[in-house]
Structure 1
């Protein structure tokens, strides 16, 4: 018997990282604005804002993991040039001194992006800023709960597995009983991720506990598996501001009911409920 509850959250954030230059009358600071997450095939706009002060712009250079892929020099002809870097395909027609547009991103696009701004003589000042972008593949399938028995008795050991849909990177799984997240490590069984073609993976998390009367509230117990993708935020000792947007949240529940609420030692039955869809504000 397989149940298909799922809940998926993906947070999309933008980073603003500010860097100050040692020159106070000339180039003062550089700040990048990079989309933290993108899905393969999407377009990504990388923005580089800066305050030149009294200086004149000499060049703006963009790097991915220390490899230069775009350069804008006002006095050059052409002013904009881009260079072959794996996973980075620049749309020069939409890029300029303050932004770079990358089309058709892929997993190889993920990395650390840095903008370096330099000034003309006599100051020759330069400053830079960086932020990380992660390209993620969202799962197209619901997590699957397996190991559900036809009936249980109080005192029985329940062994369930939850397998997430294929994604990149791997989804994070959590178990809940009666809306309380299971934190006890002895109740959770960690399994290695399962690998598939094209770099996709799925996560598997087991749940093992002994059924007792305190699990039942009003004669029933709600068991839920939650899958989310929340990659670690890029850490920096520089100033940063994060804005988060939450996508629709979906969930389904496995409901275990007692055959009679008066006698909790009696057989209990597993019943599947169809999940609901709620939009988070």
Structure 2
């Protein structure tokens, strides 16, 4: 055994005895969702052991290499053609790469592989998935609502998203609170030839007094796609029951029109008991009858 081999073996044994580890992959960052037409940044962070020397950093998508960094080669950084993947920029050691504007083919599983030098060539790797998101061109649309509702009326409304990929998730809210499960109908999805989808979700419930306790009835549809898209649409409808409540309060606070007419009749009969006011009596009674009718 040569002197260099003995030195290497001794160093490895000492590192093991003192708990020193070898090459280690510390972190891999691949954005889970990337909007169509934007640039994704990938990052791979590692730590070399005391006896390790970096040999290469390689990037793969769906098992196919698209970029490598080999410090000892005459051309340290190289790109390999792959549909949907093109490295626009990279750091000096290949740890960070920036991809060109994303297309649908850019999505997939990305892997970073880091290797040390001979004689052991230690290698570590990790992977993560990327989904390319085609955002809707407009927010969710609410249809089927009316301007006014009465207690007991049935609310039947629908919310439809714009075209997207993956499918947009829709959620209904009533007066700022999540709609009860019993009022929700299962969402439907329509897939187009270009791979984009439209989602529809319906809300169906009967109006109750509680829906108008804070004023108008507010219906909101929220559309989301992971953490990259968040749009909502809200409609506010009036309730007829507020007018009914006003009439009830008015009747409670004062006398009704019929009560006033009846009181007037009683007073007129009292006047008619006096013979000298007989003509005036008939005039008053006639006027009250006209008012009543």
Same fold (TM > 0.5): yes
Query: Whole-Å Cα distance in 2 between the matches of residues 43 and 252 of structure 1?
Result: 29
Match of 2:80 in 1: 83
Q: Deviations over 1:164-191 (max 9, x none)?
A: 112111111010111110141x321124
Q: Please say which of residues 172-181 and 71-80 is displaced more in the overlay.
A: 71-80
Mapped contact 1:222–1:256 kept (Cα < 8 A): yes
Match of 2:221 in 1: 225
Q: Deviations over 1:70-102 (max 9, x none)?
A: 121112232222223232112367674212221
Match of 2:240 in 1: 259
Question: Aligned residue pairs: how many?
Answer: 228
Match of 2:105 in 1: 108
Do the aligned partners of residues 95 and 192 (structure 1) sit closer, same or farther apart at CA in structure 2, a change above 3 Å counting? farther
Structure having the larger proportion of residues in helix: 2
Do the aligned partners of residues 219 and 51 (structure 1) sit closer, same or farther apart at CA in structure 2, a change above 3 Å counting? closer
Mapped contact 2:133–2:165 kept (Cα < 8 A): yes
Match of 1:27 in 2: 23
Match of 2:122 in 1: 125
Do the aligned partners of residues 30 and 150 (structure 1) sit closer, same or farther apart at CA in structure 2, a change above 3 Å counting? closer
Match of 1:60 in 2: 57
Higher RCO (C-alpha 8 Å, min separation 6): 1
Q: Shift of the alpha carbon at 1:199?
A: 2.2
Do the aligned partners of residues 106 and 218 (structure 1) sit closer, same or farther apart at CA in structure 2, a change above 3 Å counting? same
Q: Secondary structure at the match of 1:261?
A: helix
Query: Whole-Å Cα distance in 2 between the matches of residues 141 and 150 of structure 1?
Result: 24
Q: Deviations over 1:102-136 (max 9, x none)?
A: 10211211122110111111332111122222221
1:187 aligns with 2:183: yes
Match of 2:39 in 1: 43
Mapped contact 2:150–2:207 kept (Cα < 8 A): yes
Cα RMSD after superposing both structures: 2.6
1:174 aligns with 2:155: no
Mapped contact 2:149–2:239 kept (Cα < 8 A): no
Rg (Cα) greater in structure: 2
TM-score normalised according to structure 1 size: 0.72
Q: Which of the residues 199, 205, 214 maps onto 2:195?
A: 199
Mapped contact 1:165–1:202 kept (Cα < 8 A): yes
TM-score normalised according to structure 2 size: 0.69
